[in-house]
Structure formats: structure tokens, C-alpha cells
Structure 1
């Protein structure tokens, strides 16, 4: 996995340089410190999917380009067969599977996200990113932490929220949870 992180970091750095953006430009846009951004680019810190989405927006490339190094080509439709989406382990607490990486000029990113249960008492790390997010629970139960709220979602439940607020998801009942996430 470390090799994959480094490959993505290298692509981000190269595209930033080709776009004539400075580290400071990117850090300010992402609302992170320059030090944190430099860690993203040198591969010493994993880039959260939400931040990677924002980087893709700033660099005017598809997120799939950053993840895979390949340009999406589909412009009428794309099909992703069950279990065949590009898998990305962007954060230790979540596993992402991109469901539309081949479609060009997407207005949103779609993922199946898997959350493994944590030991009792362990709280998930929160993150935030510009935009909005929609999550639909496919299996299991989730506790969603968002802006000083804790919401329990079960299979078939959904939540739509302003993702600029700190948020996190936690699998409940000692069972893996899976949800469909759309990041806009």
C-alpha cells in the first residue's frame, strides 16, 4: 500500500507543478498547512479521499487520473461490475471502491466505502472537505459523527450533509458496515 501512496503523491506533485501552482497555493485552497500538504506530496502522509477529490478539482483532472495514472475516456456511460471498481485504501479506517473512475468530467465521485469495527472506546478520526456528501447504508449500522451530532444509520438509511463540517463514520455492533458515498 505504501508504494501506491507514493505513486499517487508523485502524480499530484507532477500535475501541480505542470499547472504552475505552488505548495502554498494548494495548501491554502485545501485549508491545510503547507507542512501537511508537503507530507501529502512526498508520500509520508496518506491523502484522504476527500482531499484527493479537492486536489483533482483544483488541478482540473479527474480523480481517477490521480488514483490510477490513466485518463478516463467514457463520456456517455460507464459500467462498473460488482467488485470491479478501483479499490483505494485512502484512510486507515475506511476502504474505498471507486464506482465511476472511467467516466470523464464527473460532477461527483461515487464510492462503496467499507468500515471495519474498531475496538470498544476507539473513536474514528474526523475529516472535512469542501462540498456536500451523500451516504446510503448498504449493510450493517453506522454511527455518523458530524458537527457535534451523533446519528445512527441502519441498512437502507441515508444522510446528506455539508462536508465542510468535521465528520466521521464508525461501524457498530462489532460488524463491518458498507455504504454508498457520493461526494459533490
Structure 2
């Protein structure tokens, strides 16, 4: 609760709002807001939402949901997050914590025999980097084919039409980095 109050106060001060001004916007007394900022009282959900709206932020930001990256930068292998699976069987895993301020997104793609990246990788502004950690992958970039084997890397502009496909019997695993994060 103490950290919530600190976040509210820091955000209010960053916007150069006086305690009295914010309390009027939120619809609570100055003393109630002061109690919240000093962690002597906890706001109702509705009041917290009004505070967030008045500070041009989100409830999540105020409660610290985006501080995970700063406080816990490590992702153990059993903590990677499943994102989606396409029709051909390729699975996409997120290799980092959620953070709306990230400048890149890191994934692991797991291709089963014959599967491809349709519905997972799309053309968009930015850049991409991939590194094959296991298996063999064919990448078609603007109509030109490339074959990557274990240990090979590939870097390209994301606005170019691209698709990847596993070309071996068995699994191919790829670390895929996208910037800006938008998959």
C-alpha cells in the first residue's frame, strides 16, 4: 500500500498538480488523498480509477504491474509464457516480462515438422532478428529463399514480406527478436 501512495504522489508531482487540485478532480477531500499518498488509507476501486484517470495513467501503472521488468529481469526456462499456436502447429513463447515501455520483444518460436510462421510473423515497420538454436529453417524474404541451420542468424527489415518454415523432421527452435514490439 505504501508503494501505491508513493506512485500516486510521484505522478501528481510530475504533472505539477497540487494535492488540493487532484483531490477536487477525483472527488475526494484533500485529507483523504493525503492519507492515501501516505499509505494510511487505501482507496476504493472506483476512487483508484478516478485517481488514475485524473493523472492520465492506468490503475495497473499505479499498483505497479509494470515494475516486474525492473524488479525481476530473469525469466527461467519454465517461466516462458505461451502466446499462441498457428494452424500449422508453430508455437510462440514470450521470453520476457510484459512491459509497455519495451523497445523490443523477444520470443521463442517452436516449429514442428513442416510448420510455418503464417499468422505469427507479419510484415510491419521495424526490424527482426532470429537465431536458430535447434534444427533447420527456411526463410522466404521478399521472394528470396534462405536456409538457416543451428547456430545461424538472420536480420532484416520487418516491412518486407517474410515467412519461415521448418524443413526437417523434428523440431526447430528459433529465438526471434522484434522491434518495435508489436506481434
Contact 2:91-2:110 at 8 Å conserved across structures: yes
Contact 1:140-1:178 at 8 Å conserved across structures: yes
Q: What is the aligned-residue RMSD (CA, Å)?
A: 2.7
Deviation at 1:71, TM superposition (A): 4.2
Structure 2 equivalent of residue 163 of structure 1: 158
Contact 2:129-2:154 at 8 Å conserved across structures: yes
Matched, 1:112 2:129: no
1:173, 1:143 → 2: CA distance?
10
Unaligned runs of 5+ in 1: 1-64
Give the paired residue count: 114
Contact 1:73-1:104 at 8 Å conserved across structures: no
User: Against the structure 1 CA distance between its residues 136 and 166, is the aligned structure 2 distance closer, same or farther, given a 3 Å change threshold?
Assistant: same
Deviation at 1:73, TM superposition (A): 2.0
User: Against the structure 1 CA distance between its residues 90 and 163, is the aligned structure 2 distance closer, same or farther, given a 3 Å change threshold?
Assistant: farther
Structure 2 equivalent of residue 150 of structure 1: 145
Structure 2 equivalent of residue 127 of structure 1: 122
Deviation at 1:136, TM superposition (A): 0.3
Structure 2 equivalent of residue 177 of structure 1: 172
Matched, 1:73 2:48: no
Matched, 1:98 2:90: no
Contact 1:78-1:102 at 8 Å conserved across structures: no
**Structure 2-normalised TM-score?**
0.55
**Structure number, greater radius of gyration:** 2
1:103, 1:81 → 2: CA distance?
17
**Structure 1-normalised TM-score?**
0.55
1:43-75 alpha-carbon deviations (Å, 9 max, x no partner): xxxxxxxxxxxxxxxxxxxxxx9xxxx943235
Residue 136 of structure 1 aligns to a residue in which SS? strand
Deviation at 1:101, TM superposition (A): 2.1
Contact 1:138-1:180 at 8 Å conserved across structures: yes
